[in-house]
Each structure stands twice: as C-alpha cells, then as structure tokens.
A and B are shown apart, each in its own frame.
Chain A
Amino acid sequence: MSNVFTIPVVLGIIYSGLRLATPYLYAAIGEAFAQNSGVYNLGVDGIMLMGAFSGFYVGMKTGNLWWGLLAAMGVGLLMGLLMAVVSVTLKAEQGISGIGLYMFGLGLSSLLFKKTMSGVESISGFQPVRIPLLGNIPYLGDVLFNHNLLVYGAFLLVPLASFILYKTPFGLMIRAVGQNPQAADTLGINVDRIRYITVSLGGMLAGIAGASLSISLINLFQENMTSGMGFIAIALVYFGSWRPLGILGGALLFSFVNALQLWLQVLGVNFPYDFAVMLPYAMTILALAISVRRAAMPDALGKPFERGEF
C-alpha cells in the first residue's frame, strides 16, 4: 500500500477532515467556555440535537437558512440557560444534570421531529463560498477555501475564542472564576453571572454545532443524528487542555484520522474495517498518553460555588 498518500488522497483527507471537524469545533469550544468557568456540561449532545432540529425546521419552513441558524442559536442558548439554572443556581451535581439534559434534548428533538414532520426530508443547505484569490490556489484552494460559511465559521471561532479568553477582561474573569471562584468573588465579580454567560454561550455554540450538521453539512434532520458527537466534543476539550488551539488540534487529529480510515477502506487496504473505525479513538488516547503536559484543568471544575465555603 505504498500509494496511500497520493496527492488526491491527502487533499481528500483534508477536505473531509475539515468538514468532519466543524461540528466538533463549535461544540467543543462552547464547552471550553463553560469548563473554563468551572462548569462541565455533559448535555452537549442533547443541545446539538435540539439545535440540529430547530435549525433544520425553521430553515425549511421559512426557506431562509439564516433564520434556521438563528433558531438553532436561540434554542441552544435556552438549553444552556436551563443547564445554568440547574447547575449554577440550584447547585445540582453537574455530571448528572448534564446527562439529564442530554436525555431531554435527545427525546424532545425526536418528539418534535415526529410531530412536525412526516419523515426525513432534505433541504438545500448553505452553499460553498469560494474565497476570492485563496480559492484559486491550485489543489489547496479547492479543499481549504471552498466551503460553506458554517465551516469557515468553525475555524474562525478558534482565534476568536482564544482572543476572548486571553485578551479580554471578560476572558480573564472566566478563567479566574474557573480557577478560583472565591478570589473572583472577593473582587466583586459575580461568579454565578459569569457561569450563566459561559454555559449559555456554550449552549448556543452547541446549537450551532447541531445546525452545522442539519443545514450546512448533511442538510437534513434525523433522530439522534449526532450519534454521540457531543460526548466526543467534551473529550476534545480535555484533549485540548481547555485551550481553543488545543481543541483545534484535537478536532483535526480526530477528524483527519477518521477521514484517513475511510480512505484506507476505499483504497481497499486489507484489514478489518472495524479496526480502521477504531483508529481515531485509539489515536486520540495515544496522542494524549505520549504528550506530557501540565494539568491545566480549571481547579473549580465541577464544583458549585457557594460563598463562605473556604
């Protein structure tokens, strides 16, 4: 199999990899905001499903994808808000409330789908936009600069999130609240409010992640169409040590390996495909195991904040 890495294959891997990475990026970066402020939300997958449904449904009914996207954002935001109420105000155990939210989102999205639509339908999603000049670069122009807006958006989100987290007072507050909420509190920062904002923002981005499937990449809605992507997105946050750039690395690794394994199958490389399918998962563990890094986990992750608990 010496001819595996030919130019078309590499280009194909890049193209598919970028598309596969798109929903993960939105969801994982959203989750990174929440986690950096100390809240982990295991309900991402449920929010993605709700986002996927509402984006699709509204997009289809209005005939305007932007309304669909807006609806997905709004629904994601509301679900994030729900998570915030439960985990921040009511101080519920975050792991369990996240799982509750996941089940709720999984169920409700299917329920709404069943009640509003007669079956799976497809729409025409966001169309590829070729970026002037860059899009004309031979070979690379096609695979890098001829995607639809939501794909570009996912990658632009990475520097934007980095900027917010590391260059703005708001980002500083987020990180402080996640590392030492008591300290932030004594400086008059409203810990709960920051967490509300990040968890809702995380929900909104998870909503977009879902919409990226239903109105930009696959252009239809089907029950449980994320099939656990939200959980992988959470794993990517850990993989990326809570930094947008790290998450980008993780999402690309995961997606490129996934694209690669499909290519291996297409090219007829002779080994059981099950092991090919395992590759991205195994690689992700392996990559973490061999890269020695300082634990960057926010100290207060998962701990509800209560004033006076010193």
Chain B
Amino acid sequence: GPAATPAPTQAPEKPLRVAIVMPSSITDMAFSQGMYEALVKVQQEMGGPSKMEIAYSENMFKVPDAAAAIRDYASQGYDIVIAHGSQYGTSLAQIAPEFPNTTFAWGTATDTFADQGIKNVFAYNPSAEQGGYVLGTIAALMSKTGVLGVCGPVEAGDAKTYVDGFKYGAEQARPGVKVQVTYTGSFSDVSLMAAAAETHIAAGADMLTGSSQSVVGAIGVAKEKGAKWFGQQWDQTSLAPDIVVASQVYDYTSIIKDMIAKRKAGTLGGVAYTLTLANGGLTIKYNDRVPVPPEIKAKADEVIKGIIDGKINPLP
C-alpha cells in the first residue's frame, strides 16, 4: 500500500507514535535489527521524528518484562505497538482487548486472535523457506565442491523453515549436492558457530549459510578461509563484503506502511501478513562485489518467479 500522504494544509499534526518490543538487540544483524531498521526507514520516508516517533525495548527475552513493556506503551497512548517475538503472543492476547484503540502487531506469527473476538492485532510471518530455496539454488550451482554448509542455531522458527528451504532448493537445483547442517543449540554462541563454520569448510563446504545473531562468528571464519556466505534475515554484506554472495532480507517496511494506512482507514487489526517474495516482504539482495555468474543468476530469477507464481513449492 502507499504511504499515507500527509495533509499539507492542516495545523501541526501529532506524530504517529510507534513502539516496538524485541527479544534481542537492535544491532543483532538479524531478527530484531530487521524490524527496527524498517521502522527507521519508514520514519525517514514519513519525514522524520516529527511525523513518526519510535520507542523501543530491546533484549526483552523475558516474556513478563515484554508484557509489561507492551502494556506500558499501550497505556501511554502509542498508536501502534509491535510485539516482535512469537513468544509474546499469550500476553498480547490478554493486553490487546484492554486497549481497543491501539493497534498491535505480532510476529512472527500467523494468528490475529480474530477467533477470540480480538480486532486490533495484526500478525506477520516471513516465509523464510522461499528465500532459503533461492539461496540454496544459487549456492548449489556456484559450489565447486558440491558441498554446502548450513550453520543453524536451534532447529525452530524461521531458522528451521529457512534451512529446510535452502536444503530443498539446493537439492533440486543440483541433484547429488551435499548439504551439511549443524545446529549449535544456542542463538548467541558466536564461538561455537565459528567452529561449526570451520567444520563445514574442513568437510569440503565452499558455500555457507546460517541463521540467528550468532552467525557473525561463522561469517568471520568464512571470510578467513575464503568460503562464500549467504545471509539470512538481514543483509550481512557489510560484515564481509568480499564473500557474501546474497542475502535474504526481511523487509518489513511494506507491512508497516500498510498497517499505518489501515489504521488511518480505521482498521486496527485482523490481518495476518506473510512476508513473501511476491509481496516484497522478502527480497534477495545481491552483493555486487561478489558477482554471481549470469547463468546462475538467471536460474535464480527463474526460481524466484516460480515461487511467486506458485509453481515452485519451496518446502518438500
């Protein structure tokens, strides 16, 4: 949807107030940073802090703390309160009815609690497997060794769907390709993640990917050893410009803008967004410094198109 065009003639409008509660930090190069930066981007588009005010609470990995924060923002009159963590759902379902004039957004999730009669909650969920499939395709075709390494944190959430898509995409693009998957059991253990990347490389992998904030460790190793990297959740090129081939980037700007628009139009919730390649919620970002051979790029575009058209199912 288009961004709300401000009425130029009216008296100074009160800024839109948006608050977000996140389980990790706004600089995690992954889940939370994705949402936070999207908000900042929308803010800039709208004309800065005078038009849109952003408040955030980061590292709210304890659900009661997050619940308190959500409630606090709502009672302070924030227009939109984003509960950016699937674990916040139960609390949100209790808080949302108390503040019927507030818009809540919850992700990653697919439930807007409409069945509970709640009307002011949006939900959003990335179809991480889609980009996973695309990146898997590119990695498989670019690999010289035919071995790909995946550095997973915990086999759950979008980490799992991404990995499943990546693996499936790779196998479809190049039968016989070997996709090695490891999990460290932690979202934050950078050092073990680095060791996982080392292990993949030692076992022949020349294309690596992974998910969660701890992959920065793996990227460091890939850089040192000259393996290529595929990013997930956030464009990780800046960390290692010479080896990041492409990243699947979660782009929340469109859904944020859409929620704002819907709110202006009087709809406070009830929509479950899915971030997909089709709606631009997911994008594949290439890094110019690591060129992808044209034929592979073409293949990737084809795959993207297939997914958008629904001809390709990114999960087995």
Give the size category of A's interface with B.
35 or more
Within 8 A of B (CB), among A183-223: 213, 217-220, 222-223
A180 within 8 A of B: no
CB distance from A128 to the nearest CB of B (A): 9
A225 within 8 A of B: yes
Q: Knowing A122-B223, A213-B190, A219-B220 touch, does A266 contact B199 (C-beta < 8 A)?
A: yes
Which residue on chain A has the smallest CB distance to residue B221? A218
A306 within 8 A of B: no
Cα–Cα, bound, A117→B25 (Å): 13
- Of B69-77, B211-219, B291-299, the one touching chain A: B211-219
| Mask of A148-186 contacts with B, CB within 8 angstroms, 1/0 | 000000000000000000000000000000000000000
In order of increasing CB-CB distance, the 9 nearest A-B pairs are A277-B185, A12-B202, A265-B182, A227-B188, A262-B199, A273-B183, A266-B180, A119-B27, A225-B190
CB distance from A211 to the nearest CB of B (A): 13
| Mask of B175-214 contacts with A, CB within 8 angstroms, 1/0 | 0000011111110111110111011101100000000011
Cα–Cα, bound, A223→B59 (Å): 10
CB distance from A10 to the nearest CB of B (A): 11
B183 A277 Cβ-Cβ under 8 A: yes
B195 A16 Cβ-Cβ under 8 A: yes
A224 B219 Cβ-Cβ under 8 A: no
Apart from the given pairs A9-B203, A227-B186, A266-B182, 5 other A-B contacts in the complex at a CB distance below 8 Å: A122-B216, A220-B220, A225-B217, A273-B183, A277-B185
B190 contacts which of A11, A19, A222, A268 (Cβ < 8 Å)? A222
| Mask of A113-131 contacts with B, CB within 8 angstroms, 1/0 | 1100111111000000000
Which residues from B are CB-within-8-Å of A138?
A: none
Which residue on chain B has the smallest CB distance to residue A23? B191
Which residues from A are CB-within-8-Å of B217?
A: 218, 220, 225
B116 within 8 A of A: no
17 CB contacts below 8 A, A to B, read: A9-B203, A15-B202, A20-B191, A20-B195, A110-B25, A120-B239, A121-B238, A122-B219, A218-B216, A220-B239, A222-B29, A223-B27, A227-B189, A262-B195, A262-B199, A266-B149, A274-B183
Cα–Cα, bound, A262→B184 (Å): 8
B240 within 8 A of A: yes
Which residues from B are CB-within-8-Å of A223?
A: 25, 27-28
B233 within 8 A of A: no
A119 B29 Cβ-Cβ under 8 A: yes
Q: Knowing A218-B216, A265-B182, A266-B200 touch, does A120 contact B27 (C-beta < 8 A)?
A: yes
| Mask of A250-291 contacts with B, CB within 8 angstroms, 1/0 | 000000001100110111100001100100000000000000
B195 A222 Cβ-Cβ under 8 A: no
B198 contacts which of A16, A113, A121, A225 (Cβ < 8 Å)? A16
B33 within 8 A of A: yes
B155 within 8 A of A: yes
A229 within 8 A of B: yes
Which residues from A are CB-within-8-Å of B224?
A: 219
Q: Knowing A12-B203, A259-B199, A262-B199 touch, does A213 contact B25 (C-beta < 8 A)?
A: no
CB distance from A11 to the nearest CB of B (A): 8
Which residues from B are CB-within-8-Å of A268?
A: 180
Cα–Cα, bound, A35→B29 (Å): 38
- Among A11, A20, A113, residue most surrounded by chain B Cβ atoms (within 10 Å): A20
B192 A258 Cβ-Cβ under 8 A: yes
Which residue on chain A has the smallest CB distance to residue B205? A266
Cα–Cα, bound, A176→B216 (Å): 44
A8 within 8 A of B: yes
Q: Knowing A120-B27, A225-B190, A227-B190 touch, does A19 contact B198 (C-beta < 8 A)?
A: yes
Which residues from B are CB-within-8-Å of A8?
A: 202-203
Give the size category of B's interface with A.
35 or more
CB distance from A35 to the nearest CB of B (A): 23
CB distance from B258 to the nearest CB of A (A): 27
Which residues from A are CB-within-8-Å of B191?
A: 20, 23, 213, 217-218, 225-227, 229
- Among A9, A263, A268, residue most surrounded by chain B Cβ atoms (within 10 Å): A263
Cα–Cα, bound, A273→B159 (Å): 15
Which residues from A are CB-within-8-Å of B223?
A: 122, 219
CB distance from A143 to the nearest CB of B (A): 9
A222 B203 Cβ-Cβ under 8 A: no
B25 A266 Cβ-Cβ under 8 A: no
CB distance from B103 to the nearest CB of A (A): 28
Cα–Cα, bound, A54→B10 (Å): 51
CB distance from A43 to the nearest CB of B (A): 19
Within 8 A of B (CB), among A41-85: none
Q: Knowing A12-B199, A213-B191, A218-B220 touch, does A120 contact B29 (C-beta < 8 A)?
A: yes
B183 A220 Cβ-Cβ under 8 A: no
A259 B195 Cβ-Cβ under 8 A: yes
Which residues from B are CB-within-8-Å of A259?
A: 195, 199
Cα–Cα, bound, A218→B240 (Å): 12
A273 B155 Cβ-Cβ under 8 A: yes
Cα–Cα, bound, A97→B221 (Å): 36
B182 A121 Cβ-Cβ under 8 A: no
Q: Knowing A213-B191, A223-B25 touch, does A277 contact B203 (C-beta < 8 A)?
A: no
Which residue on chain B has the smallest CB distance to residue A223? B25
B199 A16 Cβ-Cβ under 8 A: yes
CB distance from B192 to the nearest CB of A (A): 7
A120 B198 Cβ-Cβ under 8 A: no
CB distance from B111 to the nearest CB of A (A): 27
Which residues from B are CB-within-8-Å of A265?
A: 180-183, 196
- Among A12, A227, A258, A267, residue most surrounded by chain B Cβ atoms (within 10 Å): A227
Which residue on chain B has the smallest CB distance to residue A120? B29
